[in-house]
Amino acid sequence: MKIRKAVITAAGWGTRFLPLTKAQPKEMLPLVDKPVIQYAVDEAIAAGLVEITMVTSPNKESIEAFFSRNSKLEAFLAQKEEWGILDKVCHILDSAEVCYVRQEVPLGLGHAVLTARQSVGNEPFALLLPDDIFEDELLGPMMRLHDQYGASIVAVEKMAGRDIERYGVIRPEEIAPGVYRVLDLVEKPSWKEAPSDLAIVGRYIFTPEIFPALEATLPGKNNEIQLTDAMKLLLKKQPLYAFEYRGVHHDVGIPFGWLKSLTVLSLRHPELGPPFKEFLKKLKLD
């Protein structure tokens, strides 16, 4: 079945960014000229996904407002003939249908995905975590692998040293260059005990069988339902594959990663990049 739907999770508290995120969702933090979450939405649309379900939580109304029509603003921009800005404001709503489900209690990523079950239905879907931003194409190759194998696909990336301790890690069997059959998964292992250097990074293609696996997953650490544990259950019923991403990856889920990404993406912006680069040259740093 052709993949038409995407799920984007945006229900966390953003505790690493407190107090900044007390009233401002982490996903709405600016990253050059658009909020963090729009990068995931733009990626989904570019991959041809036309139905997007966002999993949010209470106090994140600004996300819903951002992806809703603002007829007064649109009329104002049209009156001023600001067509370029109007296109930027409207292009997402003109390109995809966005709906929302609420995760009322923070019970983990697996539970957040499970709340989207009714919206997704009995179809394969893409899952995007907005903390991860990829400059090079990723969803397209993963969707093609899904078409080839008819199975769930996870994105993985090689991680060095202790960096891998923040991720789920696969035990792989390489079946083609950059393509692996997943033999097992471990959630946040110590770097010395990790089964490989291939960490799972923020993009998934799931068959609908992930939902029964999530329902059967017992709460783990912090009483949360871990997505990795559900994938281990899924692995017992059907094959699971991994695609290795070798492009540029930004982790904006931690403050330093967000600052680095803000700098790099600002320098690459066609309009803001050149003057920003000149500013940095003139800036006297200790």
pLDDT of residue 20: 86
Amino acid symbol at 50: V
142 versus 21: the higher-pLDDT residue is: 142
Q: Where are the domains of the chain?
A: 5-258
Ranges of H-type helices in 150-254: 210-216, 227-235
Task: Extract the tokens encoding 242.
Answer: 């991994």
Note the pTM of the prediction, 2 decimals. Answer: 0.92
Residue 213 clears pLDDT 90, i.e. is over it? yes
Residues 151 and 234: their CA atoms lie apart, in Å, by: 10
Average pLDDT over residues 90-117: 88
Torsion angle of C-alpha atoms 117, 205, 62, 19, degrees rounded to 10: 110
Confidence category of residue 83, pLDDT binned at 50, 70, 90:
confident
The overall average pLDDT reported for the chain is 91
229-265 per-position pLDDT tens digit: 999 999 999 999 999 999 999 999 999 999 999 999 9
pLDDT of residue 13: 82
% the chain with pLDDT above 70? 99
Strand partners, 6: 52, 126
Looking at domain 5-258, its CATH superfamily turns out to be Spore Coat Polysaccharide Biosynthesis Protein SpsA; Chain A (3.90.550.10)
pLDDT of residue 286: 57
Find, among 234, 232, 206, 229, the residue nearest to 218 by Cα.
Answer: 229
135 versus 74: the higher-pLDDT residue is: 135
Q: Which residue has the tokens 């990049």?
A: 273
